[in-house]
Structure 1
């Protein structure tokens, strides 16, 4: 299989596989790049249609929702429509396969994601979400999770799309009567305490830290690689456009969907 790849990339994958065979604790951070390979737009992508006049960062913040909850809710419903039929790509599937394999071979893989989609879960992985969940909602005031079986965004998204799934009508909390919002970490908000603590613990105690599809330059998530490196971990980056990060030990410069199936196969064969 490796013969299909450029020689330098194949050699680096073999080096990474040897590095990943023995360690008991591995921490993986995934970012927008891995989801982009499944066709999910990133925040850097220009918005289209009715939303091209807006910047994502001007809508994904608490002030925007307080000022115009209808606008922000409608935008998120549009985003849900964009991604509702997206499927895991070979990188997601390889990660899920590796988690299962590792559990049977005395390895621990902590998967941390900056993405709000559920493609890791669809593939069969267990992941901690630093930025929330696109398919969940909560009250903008009291924070209680909103559940409505008639509008269940966690339900099977392969069913026929209907108007109720993506209605732009605002919803009010049954406990405090304030508006329901997406359960997403917006600009200016803190990361969820539990997920962030899990990420810090995994990074501080891992033997190898892997960054996939993220620049590793945007904080606070970028600090995880530094935390791992400071505690003696080796750092691997998987990105078609490697970042100028001096703490990286091995760079696998290609798409995650190309690299991960080969890497996991090599780990199994090493």
Structure 2
């Protein structure tokens, strides 16, 4: 492990630019659940275990039409959780490296830590859109949704589209989602692609990205193909294909602190 950490520090210290590709594991050290598997999700949300509802079933846009209180109970609770969560110390390390960010996370933790131009490939819970949708733009989620903690259902008034009055929903790509408005996310992803093509000696730090939904892992591998500088930080799935990269089977905050200490020494 020491040799791999030394290699990672060398890769960052000599890089011309740094790209972070982050999955759900990035937020675990901040206390956020990663929803890994049904049991992991139910440990985070016991009421859904009593109801026998899995994450994949709840993260389905059909509920906003069929059972909006159920849908907003799930997303309203997560919105409140993400607003109050403090990003762990690893975010500051990445910020000091001047890294750009590509992430499948919708929690806004990078922005809370001070990052700008975050490429959120699956959207953001901190922005809303119309459920129809009646228009192609999105707006800030300046709403507070009351939740019954026993049933995890929303109570009271639900967010509405300011244009047509229909129910609003988070601007997040859900499972089987043909109603998501991708424009906001896609514009930043496109800007990141232009930056990446111009970058020289790019080092890619992939953090907490699993294989179940491989969007982030594939992007990291593609982005690091030319330079060969891939650092994969993942305590569960750290393997790097064909040895093209550095494998660190560690949590995010600990790995980043170790790398930074070596750069500073």
The normalised TM-score by structure 2 is 0.78
8 A contact 2:4–2:247 mirrored in 1:
yes
Q: How big is each residue's C-alpha offset from its partner over 1:116-161, in whole Å with a ceiling of 9 and x where there is no partner? A: 1122222222322222222222222124434576x379xxxxxxxx
CA contact (8 A) 1:203 1:227 kept: no
The alpha carbon displacement at 1:238 in A equals 0.9
1:138 aligns with 2:134: no
Is the contact made by 2:159 and 2:167 (CA closer than 8 Å) also made in structure 1?
Answer: yes
Aligned-residue offset at 1:29: 0.3
After superposition, the C-alpha distances for 1:63-90 in whole angstroms (9 at most, x for unaligned) are 2323222210121112233444221112
- For 1:148 and 1:30, the matched residues in 2 are separated by 23
Distance 1:50 1:26 in 2: 41
Q: How does 1:17-32 map to 2 (within 5 A)?
A: 17-32=9-24
Residue 199 (structure 1) shift: 4.5
Quote the residue 1:267 is aligned against.
263
For the residues of structure 1 that align with 2:220 and 2:212, how far apart are their CA atoms?
A: 9
C-alpha displacement at 1:201, in angstroms? 4.2
- Of 171, 174, 180, 1:183 maps to 171
- Cα deviation for residue 266 of structure 1 reads 2.6
Could you tell me which residue of structure 2 aligns to residue 35 of structure 1? 27
Q: Which shows bigger deviation, 206-215 or 77-86? A: 77-86
Q: Mind listing any 5+ residue stretches in structure 2 that lack a counterpart?
A: 146-153
Paired position in structure 2 for 1:230: 225
- Structure 2 distance, partners of 1:34, 1:148, is 23
CA contact (8 A) 1:137 1:183 kept: yes
- Per the alignment, residue 56 of structure 1 pairs with 55
The aligned residue for residue 197 of structure 1 is 190
**Conservation of the 8 A alpha-carbon contact between 1:70 and 1:169:** no
The reply on whether 1:257 has 2:248 as its aligned counterpart is no
SS at match of 1:178: coil
Per-residue CA deviation, residues 188-207 of structure 1 (Å, 9 max, x unaligned), is: 34763223324444555552
Q: Runs (4+) of structure 1 moved beyond 6 Å?
A: none
Mapped partners of 2:155, 2:139: distance in 1: 15
The equivalences for 1:1-270 within 5 A come to 8=1, 10-44=2-36, 45-47=40-42, 48-52=45-49, 53-99=52-98, 109-126=99-116, 127-140=118-131, 141=133, 142-147=135-140, 151=143, 169-189=157-177, 192-202=185-195, 207-215=202-210, 218-247=213-242, 248-269=244-265
Aligned residues: 239
Alignment deviations for residues 164-193 of structure 1 (CA, whole Å, 9 cap, x no partner): xx8653222121121110121212347632
Q: Which moved more, 1:215-224 or 1:11-20?
A: 215-224
TM-score, scaled relative to structure 1:
0.77
RMSD of Structure 2 on Structure 1 (CA): 2.7
Distance of aligned partners of 1:220 and 1:49 in 2 relative to their CA distance in 1, 3 Å threshold: closer
